[in-house]
Structure 1
Amino acid sequence: MTQAAFLNPTRVSVPAQTGTKAGTRFLVLDSWRGICALLVALFHFPTSSMISQSAFIGSSYLFVDFFFVLSGFVIASSYGNRLNEPDDVARFALVRLGRIYPLHFVMLLAFAAFETLRLVLPQLNGTGPAPFTGGFDIQSFFANLFLVQDLGFENQLTWNAPSWSISAELFAYLLFAAAVFVAGARAWVWFVAAVVTAPLFLLAFSTHHMDVSFDFGFIRCLYGFSLGALLAWFQHDSIAEARQALAGGGARLAWTVAEIVMIAVIVVFVSLAGNSDVGIAAPFVFALALYLFAHEGGWVSAMLRTPAMLMLGALSYSIYMVHIFVQARMINVAGLIQRKFGLGLVGDIWVRDHDAIGFGASSPWVGFVAIVVMLVATVSISWFTWRFVEMLGMTWSRRLAKRI
């Protein structure tokens, strides 16, 4: 999940101009965040369809690293010279916590409510473990409540599984603030150290290549976050200047070709590298893509600036945080319907070399329809959580931060 790693997405319309270098908003990167969130959701959804079985979707867990790189880029662009006093650090921490925690808390309560419901209605259990056991035990609940589930307290993914990345990113925020506050203009040295040592650590100790979460997820997050911060540290102003030049009319065709080639590179890389140590290079591939699309120079970028795509970017954090709950409840409901009417909706399927309970055991077309339903349901619910949880949380935290 995502995945976590999201900037305030309140602006969903295209402004008349991009503004000054200090106030530049990278709208196309917001849209990319939404696309990546959907790809992570597809990765987690077990079906027998060709989409789920494809090598690209099978390795789309790597798009969580896009979130990390983008988060580092955005945070360093916004706060690289604004953390000079202890009060600045306190405000930063409070605003970032208000950005990620309210929705995390709401989804944790949603999972806890369903576990409680399973106690009351045993028919919901199916063949799964008993309520409040396994990855849904009380001890893990408190680790998730305090967002420390990615700091060595757990030996498996627990509760809302994608929230491991939110835990990792929160502490990446704090380390970033500490580095900038202490080292100032020399903070980039610490980011370089993380970018050099983190991939070497993963190569040496990870048994699942880049697919680490509860175990080495913080190292993975720090790697991508630091790389994004370095890109902002040394390239933010040059990107902003280039954007202003492109706004006056430039070689759109050349930029469009570069964007299309970059997309092809990402598809090929993710498809081929996700199941090998080569995947550990993913943050560098995504940093290159981020650098290119931050210029917003081609027609692909123009498409990504449309209101629908910007809204998808605005919903990205909610998509990332709610999709597992939506998918699990879809399987629960389909199982009940299947037992009642004998329909072949869900069952044991083989997904990317693993056994799973998912859609399409009787026909891949069932899996395809389930994907469409899942995406529509996830995006629809995400709009409500974005509007009534994320927005309220951001408003509250910013008002509180102003009092410091």
Structure 2
Amino acid sequence: MTQTAFLDSPHGAASIQSGTVAGERFLVLDSWRGICALLVALFHFPTASTISQSAFVGSSYLFVDFFFVLSGFVIASSYGWRLNQPREVARFAVVRFGRIYPLHFLMLAAFAGFELLRLMLPQVHGAGAAPFTGGFSLQSLLANLLLLQGVGFEDQLTWNAPSWSISAEFFAYLLFAGVVFTAGARAWVWFVAAAITAPLFLLGFSTHHMDVSFDFGFIRCLYGFSLGALLAWFQHDSIAGARQALARTGPLLSWTLAEIVMAAVIVLFVALAGDNDAGIAAPLVFALALFLFAHEGGWISVFLRTPLILTLGALSYSIYMVHIFVQARMINVASLVERKLGLGLVGDIVLRGEPATGFGAGWAGDVAILVMLLVTIGVSWITWRCVEMPAMAWFRRLSKRI
């Protein structure tokens, strides 16, 4: 995530580049991405525990909007000045495709493999729908392979359900590249238009507030992505200068207090706004948080730059993409153990007012959450090392041949 000049910026390319450090990353924002990925995983994990039933975790689907805002900020910071030639647009598309698709394909293969296992082995069939039906149909598999599952082609969440967001985000990448290539320095006008019209559209047409995915997920993505791009478009200079000044002085009390207040605002907002139209303001809240934490000026930022939290940031995409598969297999394994030993690990529960199959209350639910998080992080480390990193390197090499 670099801070670089933009095409025909009113500040001038030289002035912006002189205020940055080449190759500098927003490390704290990386860490926030990892934390948000774990919170989305918690949201999806069905247990009757106090943690799962809390208002905050129950509305943590909103942290997907943090990903959209951060992606707009990062992409605009890195590419806003570079997409002025067709070959640069092509390189951009290749690199972004290589960033998201290999792991997406691997997880589709994992889900399809399990459906085949259900088809062949009655003991793992379960009491659910027949293999390759419903959200796991072959038609939906094709839509997922074409990255169409989050742009209105499906009528339900399918296969690796969270992947709707990478479908929406990939087409947001392409739209961003087309707008910048066509409009140049005036591209920001289009981002403003999207940031205004998208929330109005959701207010007018969404029946689930901000909790839209396969239906209006692309609109939701454009909303957050455009806000992040605007933040980068107009504030990269001020952030770069402030970061350099703060790097010399070290963490300040005023910035620490601001970070504490911002973290509290996020927790309260998510807990209170997830089940009503106020949640449509989530990208605005996250854009403000992104602006604050991009400065890395307080002691919370210092904590977020520790190696453990930075590792979570590096694993964030893998965490997001593998957690549903890990959770589903945990329930499968617990169900088999329960049938053999009668331990009562899983059963019918009510989660946020809806019937579900999951882990029980008390220690069973809390232990299951801990195990889920540890296993998800472990699997994510493997996919990050063995899939994400090699794929990114290969697609970067491919893009340089264009």
**Aligned residue type for 1:401:** S
Q: Distance in 2 between matches of 1:384 and 1:250?
A: 35
355 and 213 in structure 1: CA distance in 2 versus 1, 3 angstrom threshold = same
Q: What is the rounded CA distance, in whole Å, between the counterparts of 2:122 and 2:400 in structure 1?
A: 49
Q: Give the count of matched residue pairs.
A: 387
Contact 1:135 1:159 in 2 (8 A): yes
**What is the match of residue 37 of structure 1?**
37
Q: Give me the whole-angstrom Cα distance separating, in 2, the residues matched to 1:201 and 1:328.
A: 34
Aligned counterpart, 1:107:
107
Structure 1: how far apart are the matches of 2:391 and 2:250?
A: 40
Structure 1 residue 21 displacement after superposition:
4.8
Alignment of 1:216 with 2:196, yes or no, is no
CA distance in 2, matches of 1:154, 1:186: 34
1:29-178 equivalent positions in 2, closer than 5 A: 29-178=29-178
Q: How does 1:275-314 map to 2 (within 5 A)?
A: 275-314=275-314
- How far apart are the structure 2 equivalents of 1:322 and 1:352? 23
Identity %: 78
Give the corresponding residue for 1:373: 371
Task: For 1:145 and 1:123, locate their aligned partners in 2 and report how far apart those are by CA, in whole Å.
Answer: 29
Match of 1:388 among 382, 386, 389: 386
Asked whether the 8 Å contact 2:251–2:302 carries over to 1, the reply is no
2:269: which partner in 1? 269
CA distance in 2, matches of 1:244, 1:176: 29
Q: What residue in structure 2 maps to residue 244 of structure 1? A: 244
Partner of 1:192: 192
Looking at structure 2, the residues matched to 44 and 319 of structure 1 have their Cα atoms a distance apart, in angstroms, of: 12
Counterpart-to-counterpart distance in 2, 1:237 and 1:399: 30
Tell me the TM-score normalised to structure 2 length. Answer: 0.95
Give the drift of 1:226.
0.3
User: Residue by residue, what CA displacement relative to the aligned partner does 1:250-275 show, whole Å, maximum 9, x if unpaired?
Assistant: 56111000000000000000000000
Q: Which amino acid aligns with 1:352?
A: R
TM-score, with length taken from structure 1 = 0.94
Q: Give yes or no for contact 2:347–2:357 (8 Å, CA) kept in 1.
A: yes
Give the letter for the 1:35 counterpart: I
Residue pair 1:104, 1:163 contacting (<8 A) in 2 also: yes
| Partner SS, residue 249 of structure 2 | coil
* CA–CA distance in structure 1, aligned partners of residues 355 and 73 of structure 2: 38
CA distance in 1, matches of 2:381, 2:22: 30
Structure-2 separation of matches of 1:251 and 1:382: 32
Partner of 1:3: none
Which digits, 9 at most, give the CA deviation of each residue in 1:125-144, with x for residues without a partner? 22210100010000000000
Instruction: Letter of the 2:203 partner, please give it.
Output: L
Provide the rounded CA distance (Å) in 2 between the counterparts of 1:276 and 1:402. 47
Please give the alpha-carbon distance, in whole angstroms, between the structure 1 residues aligned to 2:90 and 2:254. 44
Q: Is the 8 A contact 2:69 2:283 kept in 1?
A: yes
Cα distance in 2 between the residues matched to 1:122 and 1:364? 32
Q: In structure 2, how many angstroms separate the alpha carbons of the residues matched to 1:275 and 1:151?
A: 23
Q: Which residue of structure 1 aligns with residue 398 of structure 2?
A: 400
**2: CA distance, partners of 1:388 / 1:133:** 31
Structure 1 residue 123, shift from structure 2 partner: 1.6
2:207 match: secondary structure: coil
Paired with 2:373 and 2:158, the residues of 1 have a C-alpha distance of 23
The C-alpha deviation readout for 1:196-240, integer Å capped at 9, x for no partner, is 000000000000000000000000000000000000000011101
2:333 and 2:109 mapped to 1: Cα distance? 20
Q: Following the alignment from structure 1 to structure 2, what is the Cα–Cα distance between the partners of residues 367 and 260?
A: 30
Instruction: Deviation per CA, 1:86-108: give whole Å up to 9, x if none.
Output: 00000000000000000000000
Structure 1, unaligned stretches of length 5 or more? 1-6, 9-18
Structure-1 residue corresponding to 2:8: none
Over aligned residue pairs, what C-alpha RMSD do you find?
1.3
Distance (whole Å) between structure 1 residues aligned to residue 122 and residue 197 of structure 2? 49
Q: Is the 8 A contact 1:150 1:213 kept in 2?
A: yes
Q: What SS class does the counterpart of residue 349 from structure 2 fall into?
A: strand
Cα deviation for residue 280 of structure 1 reads 0.1
Which residue of the partner structure matches residue 233 of structure 1? 233
Contact 1:47 1:364 in 2 (8 A): no
Distance in 1 between the 2:200 and 2:293 partners? 28
Kept in 1, the 8 Å contact 2:349–2:355? The answer is: yes
Q: SS of the counterpart of 1:187?
A: helix
- Give the alignment of 1:15-34 within 5 angstroms: 20-21=20-21, 23-34=23-34
- Tell me the distance in 2 between the aligned counterparts of 1:384 and 1:23: 26
- In 2, are the aligned partners of 1:21 and 1:237 still within 8 Å (CA)? no
Deviation (angstroms), 1:365: 1.3
Unaligned runs of 5+ in 2: 3-18
Name the CA shift for 1:340/1:192 in 2 (closer, same or farther; >3 Å).
same
Residue 25 of structure 1 and its aligned partner are, at CA, apart by: 1.1
Amino acid paired to 1:244: Q
- State the match for 2:340 in structure 1: 340
Which whole-Å CA distance do the structure 1 matches of 2:272 and 2:159 have between them?
A: 30
Instruction: Give the Cα separation in 1 of the matches to 2:215 and 2:317.
Output: 23
